[in-house]
Chains A and B, each alone.
Chain A
């Protein structure tokens, strides 16, 4: 079972939901929590892990200047502008390379090979009994977030229950995080921003054919617009988390409400049960 936690808008509480959901289930079964918000991963802040670290590489072209005749074919082929052939050498712009391998294929002299280029790291740990935490970190200044997400998810492959924390937005990192998930929890807040961006995120889950349910976070009780939207789109509201200074304070300090405040562990366990039911899975 793979559940991905996402949202269009940032800061709605994806990490909070993912971390609490995982924590609420570990007494019942093993859980693997994967932080795929690799630009700004935060799940490790809840758990103080001592991780094993593995670097994430992409591949970039390496030019053998003895073989290269400066014919220019690679630079003309590359649609990303990652290669510029000048009169006396070939420039490689690592950050623009998508690692498609095209330059190697088109080079008539076989002068191009590939070498590793580090774009991030994956941290793997067991911070609590029953909990495995895998966090992807994009290197500062790099852009290939999907590459890091792929490695983080690959590390979890084969585990039973996997909960994935996605980045906000609706672009390629989100698609990568949602890819092959069984269910998506979309976290929103009851503001015009929250609703506007929720609708965009629903567009993504629909285009992927991914089943989804909603959690309303920081609710002050005026949730009618979001609830009407959910009814209209036939999306179940799985949970409503109210705004209170007490909850905000627990979270801001990096603690979990399912651990520190009564009742929440049961609520999140209930959310998981509903996810299973919506996916048609028996416990």
Chain B
């Protein structure tokens, strides 16, 4: 099974639109994974039947037993995350700040602090018309998105024997969730847009991907909205030796399709044709 992740650097460039359309048109056995666990939208376009649901536990959280606490303040003194607060001599944990390091538990002379599992989201496997889909929901405010991405990928990896391609809808950015997404994949498709910020973010995400052994492909969405920046993206790709496999025009049909919860390739429009051409180029490169 080959693994392809659709990523972007900048958010909102059309990752999910492209992923959903590819999932619709690729004539191979597919497995799907939505690694944008903070804003997971692939299922809106490829709704599925729920196969399994599991709780996701992130890093532990510390809990102070008020009956045992001797109010010495060692926990507050040693916490580097400002996660312990004191009010009128009562010490308590600020859940959103606690990173589960266990220092407070270690330094507490009264054994009043313990580390407890923290429910940080849910992991789902669904059966869609286009193959099994692993996805997740991170609890808002949780600090474990990279770990959750790893879990989603592991679920999808179980289908590797029965599939030709694992297609991953990735997160924006270049941080923890993105790095978890791209580690171990064969190739990434970076979807960008012709804006100064699109180009700047493309540059950053490509640099991060260079640190992994993977092939990098680029597609430009809404490329005709600012042709001058589009040409700068073309120049960037050729100077970096990146293959520009697709350019998708601005097309109101894209918004219509999203509003109807269908992949754009289910409609007859210029953007759908452009995604088909994108896949023609990409499938040759990936030998699929």
Residues of A within 8 A of B (CB): 8-12, 15, 39-40, 42, 45, 77, 79-80, 98-102, 105-106, 138, 140-143, 145, 167-175, 189, 191-193, 196-197, 200-201, 203-204, 207-208, 220, 222, 245, 248-249, 251-254
Contacts and interface: CB of A to CB of B under 8 A. Distances in A.
Given A40-B174, A169-B38, A248-B225, A140 B106 contact: no
B179 interface: yes
Interface stretch (B97-105, B157-165, B270-278): B97-105
Given A105-B107, A254-B195, A77 B174 contact: no
Contact of B103 (A102, A142, A168): A102
Contact of B140 (A10, A12, A203, A249): A203
Contacts of B96: 175, 207-208
Contacts of B53: none
Contacts of A100: 80-81, 99, 101-103
Given A168-B38, A193-B258, A45 B200 contact: yes
B226 A193 contact: no
A99 B12 CA distance: 33
Given A138-B174, A172-B143, A15 B44 contact: no
A9 B12 contact: yes
Contacts of A12: 11-12
* Residue from A105, A169, A189, A200 with most neighbouring chain B CB atoms (10 Å): A169
16 contacts: A9-B11, A9-B39, A12-B11, A40-B197, A99-B80, A100-B102, A101-B103, A105-B107, A140-B211, A168-B12, A170-B39, A189-B12, A204-B141, A248-B225, A251-B195, A252-B225
Given A40-B174, A200-B140, A140 B207 contact: yes
Task: Give 10 closest A-B pairs by Cβ, nearest first.
Answer: A10-B11, A11-B12, A100-B101, A169-B38, A39-B173, A172-B143, A42-B197, A203-B140, A254-B196, A10-B172
Contacts of A170: 38-39, 138, 140-142
Contacts of B252: 220
Nearest to A218: B255
B200 A191 contact: no
Given A11-B10, A169-B39, A253 B226 contact: yes
